[in-house]
Amino acid sequence: MTMTDVIRTQRLTKHYGCHRVVDSLNLRVQQGQVYGFLGRNGAGKSTTIKMLLGMVQPDSGEAELLGEPVSKLRPETRERIAYIAEGHPLYNWMTVGEVVRFTRAFYSQWNTELVEQILDHFELSRKQKLRRLSNGQRAQVSLALAVAPEPELLILDDPTLGLDTVVRRDFLESLIQIIHRKGRTILFSSHILGDVERVADRIGILVDGVLRVDCPTDHFRASVKKLVLDFPGPAPEGFECPGLVNQWRTGSQLELVLVGYDDAQRTAVESLQPRNIEVVELNLEEAFIQYTRGRRRSLPLFATEGSDDQSTRDQGAA
Amino acid sequence: MQFLCDTTSRTPIYRQLIDQVRHGVARGKLRVGDRLPSVRQLSRELVVNPNTVARAYTELEREGTLITQQGRGVFVAPPRTDLTKKARRKQLGERLDLLFVEAVHLGFTADELQAMVQDRIGQFAFVEEKGNE
């Protein structure tokens, strides 16, 4: 199967003042992928998304969507891209019916049936004013508007922010339906790692504007490990090895968080001569927390090129 | 059979699905020839990426638990006979030894272990006795 890049950025960089918000970002999202774009607040996710959409000018570097430079997107190409902004902004004075008619006017292609289906499913009346909708209903309306033109690429900026658990599940269900339509590519940012694990094939993690992780979702989760070492006496201080993200000492115990646990690391750990080594698996949320709260500048880079093949792993210390 | 998916678990979702199918078959909730939900159906039901479900099914097919019949769906396959009885006996023996090690360390007597095994046998769907093998 030949894969085409639907999103491709090259050394994309943005400063706000002297602060580098996005740093030489090389992001590639292939056709059909569901890409979870992660990072802590202020890591540069929204700025990146805004640069992809041409709403923020990069200082340097390039971004391409569907094979065309963002600054020179043809209107026909722009129609194939949907964007859902953070917080689901809508014209509050319109009714549901009005916003559907209004938005429709901008597109040559419009799936009326799909919009009706979504609105009916969530029992949204066409006569209701947008200002009276709950956060969850707003999310559903903006999703309906986004998918109606049958876009090939959907970019969603934290679409489940502020939604309660049930509404979030509804939203994810709608998203899964969209994924079922073959060939659709989705990039979404989120802070809810359980949701990301459900829907994302691949994740990227931005830390201080640098894309430090870019690999299949399961692969990242599986490669961050916590090791609990027991010592007969006090645990040693100042342990160092490649891929070490974090460590804590408590009495005779030493806890290490390692990325890409391998034989070299195992040998390094064993040379401390602990009485016992327990390797603890982490779920995606735990792995994300452990990884992103590590010593930021020295975080190990972690990426795989292209396929989901675990053996094509390529990583090195930053 | 009802499938579950738990994102707080440390077991990846595809692995959770594999375990559930294997347990379902072993406990007789899924029988040979039973049809499983399609990848799309299960993906929608559990609200997980279809690729995750597909990955679980592919793995289960590779190990011989499931079989895909083109255009008809995914079914529970008959127990594997591609390995010789000797090889299968060896595999099971290794697992049994692990159980024995555990039992000894937990301080059980041989009789107690035997009683527990006997007690649980009824909960699982074993292959019916065949005339000759």
Span A42-58, pLDDT tens digits: 899 999 999 999 999 99
pLDDT at A304: 58
Task: Find out whether A47 and A12 touch, Cβ atoms under 8 Å.
Answer: no
- Residue A179: pLDDT band with limits 50, 70, 90: confident
Cα B120 from chain centroid (whole Å) = 16
CB contact under 8 A, B47 and A34: no
- The secondary element (H helix, E strand) that includes residue A283 is none
pTM for the model stands at: 0.85
Domains of chain A: 5-208 (3.40.50.300), 221-316 (3.30.70)
Residue range B13-76 forms a domain whose CATH class is mainly alpha
Cβ pair B48:A176 closer than 8 A:
yes
Each domain of chain B, given as residue ranges in start order, spans 13-76, 81-133
Judge whether residue A310 has pLDDT over 60: no
> In chain B, which residues have their Cβ closer than 8 Å to the Cβ of A201?
49, 51
**A92-98, long-range: CB < 8 A, 24+ apart:** A92/A129, A92/A130, A92/A131, A93/A129, A93/A130, A93/A131, A94/A129, A94/A130, A95/A126, A95/A127, A95/A128, A95/A129, A95/A130, A96/A124, A96/A125, A96/A126, A96/A127, A96/A128, A96/A130, A96/A133, A96/A141, A97/A126, A97/A127
Report d(CA A279, CA A277) in Å as an integer.
Answer: 6
What average pLDDT is seen over chain B? 90
pLDDT digits (tens, 9 = 90+) for A215-264: 999 899 888 999 999 999 999 988 888 888 888 899 899 999 998 878 88
Cα A88 to Cα A111, A134, A248, distances in angstroms: 20, 11, 41
Tell me which chain A residue has its CA closest to the CA of residue B53. A198
User: Nearest-CA distance from B84 to chain A in Å?
Assistant: 31
pLDDT average, residue stretch B49-64: 94
* pLDDT-above-70 percentage for chain B: 96
Confidence of residue A299 (pLDDT cuts 50, 70, 90): low
pLDDT digits (tens, 9 = 90+) for B14-41: 999 999 999 999 999 999 999 999 999 9
The model's pLDDT over A214-227, given as tens digits with 9 standing for 90+, comes to 999 989 988 899 99
Mutation pick from A33, A180, A221, A286 vs chain B, by most beta carbons of B within 10 Å, is A180
Select from B5, B9, B10, B13 the residue whose CB has the most chain A CBs within 10 Å, as the one to mutate to test that interface.
B10
CB B98 within 8 A of CB B91: no
